[in-house]
């Protein structure tokens, strides 16, 4: 094992925080040898802009857009039909799909898993992709692994890591199986330490990039995001300006003001040291600048004041945080 450093990008909220954008930017500007997914399946959706062209992937890591080896890790789960559909989509758009590899230990989503998800779990706000039943069978030791499928043989990873590695998270901190609002969560571990399942010790971790928007969104049912928020005129307009629809399901996201209480906890538990706060241009278009702190809504006069307050509160409460960047949509800067 000749690993130099590992960087990790996670979501600090409920998913849809622009992790793909950040991972793609890092893949383009840094010298990574691997970009790896460590959890989830095609229930995630990452939107990438390359040379002003928009691409959406659900399972394959964002490193593929910048010619970096892209690994689907052992704690991921794979829908074979969707995987090959995504491979063909990338091929047609000129990307080198030979760089895509799947851990032999990753588990396979079956049609039965999907049907069970639709019948039993969709009411909890799942994407109905078979995620929960597949993970259940994995831990029940009755699942099927990628190494058992001849159709995947050309994509099976040799499990060798070296050089500089970037790990790409799926979903977000508050969808984690342990830390989210159970049972309205995903069925995997979304925190950065779970990335070690790819095959490296935690001592190699250098930077943890945390992604969040300057306002909160949630797709799927969650009592913490009541449907009454959809009736708020300001939040409704914010969602329209931000085009807040799930990239995987197309479902409308419920919008709320940025909850700094939740964000601070996510930063501190995850160990995030570099934060990227996206979509500042969207809230500027709305021209209403609010945030939640100590369970109360606060109002700022302008974007600069909001950014200064967010920065101050994070710096005062998050000792590990070293850098905070504010980003426009869809680009990093």
Q: Is 46 an active-site residue?
A: yes
Pairing assessment for the beta strands 53-57 and 100-102 based on DSSP bridges: unpaired
> 144: cis peptide before it, omega within 30°?
no
Pairing assessment for the beta strands 46-50 and 53-57 based on DSSP bridges: antiparallel
Task: Choose the catalytic residue: 7, 16, 117, 222.
Answer: 16
Q: Is 224 an active-site residue?
A: no
Q: Quote the Cα angle for 280-302-15, to 5°.
A: 30
DSSP-derived 3-state class of residue 105: coil
DSSP 267: H
E-strand ranges in the chain read 2-11, 34-37, 46-50, 53-57, 69-72, 77-78, 100-102, 107-108, 162-168, 205-213, 215-218, 254-259, 274-278, 289-293, 296-300, 323-326
- H helices of 79-230, in order, are 80-92, 111-116, 131-139
Task: Choose the catalytic residue: 7, 25, 46, 117.
Answer: 46
Q: Which positions are catalytic? A: 16, 46
């Amino acid at each position: 094992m000749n690993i130099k450093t590992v960087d990790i990008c996670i979501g600090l909220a409920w998913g849809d925080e622009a992790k793909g954008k950040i991972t793609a930017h890092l893949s383009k500007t840094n010298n990574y040898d691997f970009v790896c997914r460590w959890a989830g399946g095609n229930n995630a959706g990452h939107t990438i802009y390359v040379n002003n062209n928009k691409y959406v992937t659900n399972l394959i890591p964002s490193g593929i857009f910048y010619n970096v080896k892209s690994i689907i890790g052992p704690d991921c789960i794979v829908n074979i039909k969707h995987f090959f559909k995504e491979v063909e989509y990338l091929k047609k758009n000129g990307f080198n799909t030979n760089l895509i590899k799947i851990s032999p230990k990753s588990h396979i989503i079956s049609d039965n898993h999907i049907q069970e998800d639709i019948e039993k779990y969709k009411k909890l706000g799942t994407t109905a992709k078979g995620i929960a039943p597949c993970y259940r069978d994995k831990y029940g030791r009755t699942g099927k692994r990628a190494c058992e499928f001849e159709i995947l043989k050309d994509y099976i990873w040799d499990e060798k890591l070296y050089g500089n590695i970037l790990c790409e998270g799926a979903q977000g901190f508050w969808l984690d199986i342990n830390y989210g609002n159970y049972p309205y969560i995903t069925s995997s571990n979304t925190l950065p330490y779970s990335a070690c399942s790819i095959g490296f010790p935690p001592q190699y971790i250098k930077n943890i990039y945390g992604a969040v928007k300057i306002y909160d969104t949630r797709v799927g049912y969650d009592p913490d995001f009541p449907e009454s928020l959809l009736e708020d005129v300001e939040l409704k307009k914010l969602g329209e300006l931000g085009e807040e629809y799930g990239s995987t399901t197309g479902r409308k996201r419920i919008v709320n003001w940025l909850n700094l209480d939740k964000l601070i906890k996510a930063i501190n538990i995850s160990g995030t040291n570099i934060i990227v706060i996206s979509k500042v241009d969207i809230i500027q278009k709305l021209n209403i600048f609010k945030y939640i702190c100590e369970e109360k809504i606060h109002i700022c006069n302008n974007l600069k004041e909001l950014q200064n307050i967010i920065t101050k509160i994070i710096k005062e409460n998050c000792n590990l945080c070293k850098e905070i960047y504010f980003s426009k949509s869809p680009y990093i800067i």
